[in-house]
Amino acid sequence: MAVLYATHPQYLAHRAGPGHPESPARLRAVGLGLQRAGVADAVVAVEPTAASDEDLERIHPEAYRRALRSFCAAGGGSLDGDTAVVAESWDAALLAAGAGLEVVRRLEAGEGDVGFCAVRPPGHHALASQAMGFCLFN
C-alpha cells in the first residue's frame, strides 16, 4: 500500500501562542512517530505547493482572503478565542490547503492508496468567511 505523506517546514513557522494545543510540537511528534514505527522511509513524500487564489475562491470569498492576508501581514494576533496567527501563518495556510489538494490529485491519478497531510494550520473547522477552531482555510 502506498501512503502519500505531505508536510512542509513552513508549517513550523505558524504560531498560535504559548501553551496553545495547536503547536509546532504536533508536527514534530508525527515525524518522530513515523521514525519510531520504522515506516518513515515507506511513505511517499509529497511536496506541497501553495493553494492558488483560484483554488481558495471555490470556498473562501475574496474579501475574507484579503482581510486574512492583511491581518497576517500586519503581524497577526487573535482571530477568535481559539485561532491566532503570526505573519508567517499566511504562507503556511496556503501550503496547508495546497497539500490537501496535491494529495487528492495524486490519489485520483493512482499514485497512492491513502494520503496523510501533516499540516499547520489545520483546515477542517474554518467557515467560508471566518477562521475557526485553529483553522484558516478548508
> ω before 122 within 30° of 0 (cis)?
no
Percent of the chain with pLDDT strictly greater than 90: 93
Q: What is the pLDDT of residues 106-126, one digit of tens each?
A: 999 999 999 999 999 998 899
Domain boundaries, the chain: 3-117
CB atoms within 10 A of CB 59: 15
Percent of the chain exceeding pLDDT 70 equals 100
**Do 29 and 12 meet the contact criterion of CB atoms below 8 Å apart?**
no
Region for 76 from its dihedrals, namely left if φ exceeds 0, alpha if ψ lies in -120 to 50, beta otherwise: left
- pLDDT for 38 equals 92
The conformation of residue 115, written as its DSSP 8-state character, comes to E
Q: What phi and psi, each to the nearest 5 degrees, are found at residue 74?
A: -80, 5
Q: Which is catalytic among the residues 8, 20, 124, 125? A: 125
Q: What is the mean pLDDT of residues 19-47?
A: 94
In order of 53, 85, 131, the CA distances from 57 in angstroms are: 6, 21, 15
Q: What is the pLDDT of residues 59-104, one digit of tens each?
A: 999 999 999 999 999 999 999 999 999 999 999 999 999 999 999 9
> Predicted confidence band at 1 (pLDDT cuts at 50, 70, 90)?
confident
The confidence score (pLDDT) of residue 118 equals 97
Is 60 noted as a catalytic residue in this protein? no
Look at residue 47 and tell me whether its pLDDT is greater than 90: yes
pTM of the model: 0.94
